[in-house]
Structure 1
């Protein structure tokens, strides 16, 4: 089945009051559990940018590491969920559920099919 990346940008949840984050966590974990129960969840999680590590780095083809932000980079990703679903419409349904739970819009992208990598 096709695999889809559902993601949102870093900062997309900045509008949520601090006191609402426990509820956001609860509802987003419920969606993840629902996806697991449905057998479509492959991976998911939020990315940390506040733990003292470099928030972004780029490794060039020459092996040189440039600590970010990198000028040509797109927006940083704030969180992801990867689902294995039969159709784009199914991916959009999961994205809608996580958008409500996380209180922010979600980006949907389909992974290219590679028979050597997908079981």
Structure 2
């Protein structure tokens, strides 16, 4: 089994304006998460809290708001699933795309026995 990150940026849902549609997206996306939990493949997930500013921590413990340029816009929702194959990961990503009403990005984690 391998871990896969399935995610989307907050901007993927900028088109949603209707409260009833938001409620539908919440319902259908949570159904997929419940299905993943029932299947025993759910590791963790959620949405990044955009009300708290991210910080960068240096090796000496210094805290800075100077983030890596590549990750300044890291936001949105994500989940990590433990799946047997890339094909299975693509199937779950498709389920999440349907449930969330937006495309999902799929990235595998490196397998590391120490993690």
TM-score class, shorter-chain normalisation, is 0.7 to 0.9
State how 1:18-97 maps to structure 2 within 5 Å.
18-19=18-19, 20-50=21-51, 53-54=52-53, 56-67=54-65, 70=67, 72-74=69-71, 75-97=73-95
User: TM-score scaled to structure 1, two decimals?
Assistant: 0.85
Superposed CA deviations along residues 34-71 of structure 1, whole A, max 9, x for unmatched, are 11111111111112213xx22x2111233222226x35
Q: What stretches of structure 2 of length at least 5 have no aligned partner? A: none
Name whichever of 23-32 and 1-10 sits farther off.
1-10
Instruction: Give secondary structure in 1 for the equivalent of 2:88.
Output: helix
* RMSD value, Cα: 1.6
Judging by fraction of residues, say which structure has more helix.
2
2:104 equivalent in structure 1: 106
Instruction: Give secondary structure in 1 for the equivalent of 2:14.
Output: coil
Runs (4+) off by over 2 Å: 60-64
Q: How many residues align?
A: 113
CA contact (8 A) 1:8 1:78 kept: yes
Partners of 1:108 and 1:45 in 2: how far apart? Answer: 15
Q: CA deviation at 1:93?
A: 0.7
Partners of 1:78 and 1:100 in 2: how far apart? Answer: 16
